[in-house]
Amino acid sequence: MAARLSTDSPPAPVIYGCHGLELTPQERDFFAAARPAGFILFARNCKSRAQVSDLVADLSHCAGINPALILIDQEGGRVQRLSPPEWRAAPSAAELGRLVERSMDVAVEAIKLNTLLIAAELTELGINTDCAPVVDVPAPGSHNIIGDRAFSDQVDLLSHLARVMAESLLDGGVLPVIKHLPGHGRALADSHLELPTVDALRSDLDDVDFAAFQPLADLPLGMTAHIVYPAIDSKPATQSSAVIRGVIRQQIGFDGLLMTDDLSMQALSGSFADRARDSLAAGCDIVLHCNGDMAEMTEIAGAVAGKLSTEASDRLSRAQALIATSPQMPPVDAVDRLTKLLADNA
C-alpha cells in the first residue's frame, strides 16, 4: 500500500541537515518558512530511539510536503549513523559481497536479511530513506573513500547485489538512494576534502563506472558525485549539464529524483547560493546541504526560493508512492541467521 501523498503545493528543491539532537526555535522557524522536501540525519542527531523519533516527528512537521523525505546514511560497516550500543552493528557491503565465494544464494540471503533489519530499524524511527546502496566500482589504487562500501569491484556482480539491497529496502518500507552517479570508484581523493579529477578514457568510464548504474536506472532516488571527468566536462558532475543530462539521464537512463551530494563538501567552490543554483541549472532535481550551519542554509534558501520543477515534482511523487505503509519485516531469527552466515565465511 502506498504512502498518502500531500495535496499541498510542491516544496522547495532542497534537503537540509540540522545541528543537534533536537531542533532549536531558530531551526524550527527557518525550516517551516523554507519548506524543504526533507531532511538528513547524522550521528550528531542520533542518541536514542525515543530522541530520534521525536526529532523526526518535529522535522516532518516543519517540512513542505507530506510525507517528507527523512534521509540517513545507514550503509553498514564504517558508514552507519545509527551505531552501537543503541543500534546494531551492520556488516559492510564488501563483507556481504564476499559471501559470493561460497554461493550467490548465501550472499543474496545475507544481504536481504541485513537490509530488512536496517529497514526495520529506520521505519521504527520514522526514517523513510536510506542513502544506499553504493554503486561506485572501486578501482585499483583509488582512494579508500569507497573501498569496502561497495559489494564488489566486478561490475555485473556489484549491480546485482546493489539491486538486492535496493529492492529489500523498498520491501522494508524505505526508499534507496543509489550513489554516487555516475561513479566515484576511480577517485584518487576524498571529495569531502577536495575536488577529485578522474582522468579515465571515456570508453573505460562507459564500460565500468557508468555501466554499473545502468541496471539500476529504474530506482527512485539517486545522488551525484562531486567529481570532474575531463573526458566529458571541466565541471564537477554535480554542476555539469553534460554529465547530468548526457550521461546520467540519457546514457545511464536514470529517471528518478536526482539529488546532489552535500553542497558543503570542499570539492565544490563558490558561494553556497552559486553551488545550489549551478546544481539545479545543470539538471539536479534537489540540492542537499548536511552540516546544519544556519548561515549557509539561509543563503541556499534564498537561491532555491520557489518550488520543485514539474519534472522533479513528478519524480518526488513517484518516490513517495513507493514508501510502503505495511512494510515487510525481517524474520524473527534474522540476526542469528545473518550472524551464522557471516561466521561460516570467516
For residue 182, cis peptide bond before it (omega within 30 degrees of 0): yes
What are the grid coordinates assigned to 302, written together? Answer: 534564498
Give per-residue burial for 237-252: e unless 16+ CB within 10 Å, then b. Answer: bbbbeebbebbbbebb
- pLDDT confidence band for 324 (50 / 70 / 90): confident
pLDDT at 60 over 60: yes
Percent of the chain with pLDDT over 70: 97
Is there a contact between 235 and 260 (Cβ–Cβ < 8 Å)?
A: no
Lowest mean pLDDT among 124-138, 210-224, 323-337: 323-337
pLDDT tens string 110-166:
999 999 999 999 999 999 999 999 999 999 999 999 999 999 999 999 999 999 999
Write down the pLDDT at residue 331.
96
Please report the domains of the chain, with CATH numbers, ordered by start residue: 13-344 (3.20.20.300)
What is the 3-state secondary structure of 123-147? HHHCCCEECCCECCCCCCCCCCCCH
pLDDT tens string 195-208:
999 999 999 999 99
> CA dist 104 to 51, 111, 317, 346, Å?
39, 11, 35, 16
| Residue carrying the nine cell digits 512537521 | 61
The residues annotated as belonging to the active site are 192, 261
pLDDT at 2 over 50: no
Write down the pLDDT at residue 346.
67
Residues 6 or more apart whose CB falls under 8 angstroms from that of 73 comprise 40, 42, 79, 80, 81, 130, 131, 132
Task: Tell me the average pLDDT across 256-260.
Answer: 98
Write down the pLDDT at residue 345.
72
- pLDDT confidence band for 58 (50 / 70 / 90): very high
pLDDT at 215 over 70: yes
pLDDT tens string 7-18:
457 899 999 999
Q: What is the chain's alpha carbon radius of gyration, rounded to the nearest angstrom? A: 19
Q: Is 188 helix (H, G, I), strand (E, B) or coil?
A: coil
pLDDT at 259 over 50: yes
Angle between the N-to-C axes of helices 49-62 and 25-34, in degrees from 0 to 180, rounded to the nearest 10: 40
Q: How long is the chain?
A: 346
- pLDDT confidence band for 1 (50 / 70 / 90): very low
Q: What is the pTM of this model?
A: 0.96
Q: How far is CA 280 from the centre of its chain?
A: 17
Task: Tell me the average pLDDT across 40-55.
Answer: 98
Residues 6 or more apart whose CB falls under 8 angstroms from that of 102 comprise 344, 345
